[in-house]
Structure 1
Amino acid sequence: MAKEEYGAKDLAVLEGLDAVRKRPGMYIGTTDSQGLMHCLWEIIDNSVDEALAGFCNRIIVTLHADGSISVDDNGRGIPVDKEPKTKLSGVEVVLTKLHAGAKFGNSSYNAVGGLHGVGSSVVNALSSRLDVEVDRDGKTYHMAFHQGHPGVYTDADPEHPSPDSPFKRTRKNRPTELDIIGKVPAKRTGTRIRYWADPEIFNKTAEFSYEQLVDRVRQTSFLVPGLKITVIDENIPETRESGDAASESETNGANDTVAQPVLGSADEAAVAGTAAASDTADAQSQPTTGEKADGEQSDEDLTLTGSDVIEDGAFGAQPDHPRVAEFLHAGGVKDFVDYLSKGEPVSDIWRIQGEGTYEEETQAVGANGELHAEKITRTCGVDIALRWVNGYDTVMRSFVNIIETPGGGMHVDGLMNSVTRQVRKAVEANARKLKVNLKDSNMKVERDDIMAGLVAVVTVRIAEPQFQGQTKDVLGTAQVKPIVTRMSDKQFGEMITGSKRGYKEQSGRVLEKIVGEMHARVQSRKAKEVTRRKNALESASMPAKLSDCQPGNDDVAELFIVEGDSALGTAKAARNAGFQALLPIRGKILNVQKASITQMLSNKECAAIIQVVGAGSGQSFDIEQSRYHKVIMMTDADVDGAHIRILLLTLFYRYMRPLIEHGYVYAAVPPLHRIALTGSHKGEFIYTYSDDELAGKLAELDRKHIGYNDDIQRYKGLGEMDADQLADTTMDPRTRMLRRIRMEDAEQASQIFSLLMGDDVPPRKAFIVENADDFDRSKIDT
Structure 2
Amino acid sequence: MAEKTDDYGASSIKVLEGLDPVRKRPGMYIGSTSTTGLHHLVWEIVDNSVDEALAGFCTKIKVTVHPDNSVTVEDNGRGIPVAPHPQKKIPTLEVVLTVLHAGGKFDNAAYKVSGGLHGVGVSVVNALSKRLVVSVKRDGGIFEMEFSRGKTTKKMQKVGTSKATGTTVTFWPDDEIFDTTVYNYDTLHDRLQETAFLNKGLKIVLTDERELTPRVDEFCYQGGIVDFVKFLNTEKTILPGLSKPIYIEDRTTPDTPVARKGEVEVAMQWNTGYSEQVLTFANDIYTDEGGMHLEGFRTALTKTLNDYARTKKLLKEKDPNLTGDDVREGLTAVISVKLPDPQFEGQTKAKLGNSYIRSLTNKIVSQQLAEYLEEHPNQAKEIFKKASAAARGRMAAQKARQATRRKGLLESASLPGKLADCSVRDAEMTELFIVEGDSAGGSAKMARDRSIQAVLPLRGKILNVERVQEHRALSSETIQSLITAIGTGVDQEFDINKARYHKIVIMTDADVDGAHIRILLLTFFYRYMRPMIEAGYIYVAQPPLYQLKPKGKKRGMYLYSDEELAVEARKFPDSSRYTVQRYKGLGEMDPEQLWSTTMDPKNRIMLKVNIDDAMAAERAVSDLMGTTVEKRKDFIQTHAKDVRFLDI
TM-score for the superposition, normalised by structure 1 = 0.51
Distance 1:658 1:462, change over 3 A: farther
Distance apart, 1:525 and its partner CA: 2.7
Q: 1:555 and 1:623 mapped to 2: Cα distance?
A: 20
Correspondence list, 1:193-204, <5 A: 193-203=169-179
**Equivalent position of 1:21 in the other structure:** 23
| Pairing partner for 1:339 from 224, 231, 251 | 231
- Per-residue CA deviations over 1:713-749 (Å, capped at 9, x if unaligned) read xxxxxxxxxxxxxxxxxxxxxxxxxxxxxx9986267
Measure, in 1, the Cα distance between the counterparts of 2:316 and 2:327: 18
User: How far off is 1:420 after superposition?
Assistant: 0.6
Distance of 2:134 and 2:369 partners within structure 1 = 47
Amino acid in structure 2 at the alignment position of 1:345: I
Matched, 1:424 2:303: no
Name the residue aligned to 2:623.
747
* 97, 100, 103: which one aligns with 2:102: 100
> Could you tell me how far apart the structure 2 residues matched to 1:616 and 1:125 are?
44
Contact 1:615–1:621, Cα closer than 8 Å, also in 2: no
Q: Secondary structure at the match of 1:113?
A: coil
**Contact kept? 2:263, 2:339, Cα under 8 Å:** yes
> 1:18: Cα distance to partner?
2.4
Deviations 1:215-256 (A, max 9, x none): 110000000111111111110113xxxxxxxxxxxxxxxxxx
- Note if 1:133 corresponds to 2:132: no
Q: Structure 2: how far apart are the matches of 1:349 and 1:529?
A: 37
Q: Which amino acid counterpart does residue 226 of structure 2 have in structure 1? A: K
- 2:348 alignment partner, one of 471, 487, 490: 471
Residue 328 of structure 1: which of 217, 220, 223 is its match?
Answer: 220
State the TM-score, normalizing by the size of structure 2.
0.61
Distance in 1 between residues matched to 2:404 and 2:25, nearest whole Å = 56
Distance 1:20 1:492, change over 3 A: same
Shift of 1:378: 4.0
Matched, 1:350 2:240: no
**Partner residue in 1 for 2:378:** 505
The gaps in structure 2 that reach 5 residues or longer are 1-16, 408-414, 420-462, 480-515, 524-618, 632-648
Amino acid of the structure 1 residue aligned with 2:389 = G
- Take 1:138 and 1:40, find their aligned partners in 2: how far apart are those partners? 28
Residues 216 and 531 (structure 1), Cα distance of their counterparts in 2 relative to 1, 3 Å cut:
closer
Q: 1:41 aligns with which of 40, 43, 46?
A: 43
3-state DSSP class of the match of 2:261? Answer: strand
**TM-fit CA distance, 1:37:** 1.1
1:516 aligns with 2:491: no
Say if 2:113 is the partner of 1:237: no
Q: Deviations over 1:65-96 (max 9, x none)?
A: 12211101111111111111111112101101
The whole-number CA distance in structure 2 between the counterparts of 1:506 and 1:115 is: 40
* Separation of aligned partners in 1, 2:117 and 2:226: 27
Q: How does 1:526-675 map to 2 (within 5 A)?
A: 526=399, 529=402, 618-621=468-471, 623=473, 625-627=475-477, 661=520
Question: For the residues of structure 2 that align with 1:211 and 1:349, how far apart are their CA atoms?
Answer: 27
Larger Rg: 1
Residue of structure 1 in register with 2:278 after alignment: 396
CA distance in 2, matches of 1:628, 1:555: 11
CA contact (8 A) 1:140 1:180 kept: yes
Q: Which amino acid aligns with 1:221?
A: A
Distance in structure 2 (CA, Å) of the matches to 1:617 and 1:209: 31
Count of residues in correspondence between the two structures:
430
Q: Secondary structure at the match of 1:104?
A: coil
Alignment of 1:347-386 (within 5 A): 347=242, 348-356=244-252, 376-386=258-268
Shift of 1:351: 0.9
Contact 1:623 1:659 in 2 (8 A): no
Aligned mates of 2:321, 2:306 — CA distance in 1: 8
Q: 1:618 to 1:426 in 2, by over 3 A?
A: farther
Going by fraction, where is helix more abundant, 1 or 2?
2
Q: How many angstroms does 1:452 deviate by?
A: 0.6
Deviations 1:413-434 (A, max 9, x none): 1111011111111222344xx5
- 1:459 maps to what in 2? 336
What SS class does the counterpart of residue 45 from structure 2 fall into? helix
Q: Is the 8 A contact 1:449 1:515 kept in 2?
A: yes
User: Aligned partner of 1:510: which letter?
Assistant: I
Question: Corresponding residue for 2:194?
Answer: 219
Q: In structure 2, give the amino acid aligned to 1:231.
A: L
Q: Secondary structure at the match of 2:390?
A: helix
The residue type equivalent to 1:234 in the other structure is E
Comparing 107-116 with 516-525, greater Cα deviation is found at 516-525
Q: How much is the aligned-residue C-alpha RMSD, in angstroms?
A: 3.4
User: Are 1:439 and 2:439 an aligned pair?
Assistant: no
Q: Is residue 64 of structure 2 the alignment partner of residue 62 of structure 1?
A: yes
The answer to whether the 8 A contact 1:614-1:626 is kept is no
> 2:101–2:119: 8 Å Cα contact kept in structure 1?
yes
Q: CA deviation at 1:662?
A: 5.0
Report if aligned partners of 1:614, 1:625 keep a CA contact under 8 Å in 2. no
The aligned amino acid for 2:346 is G
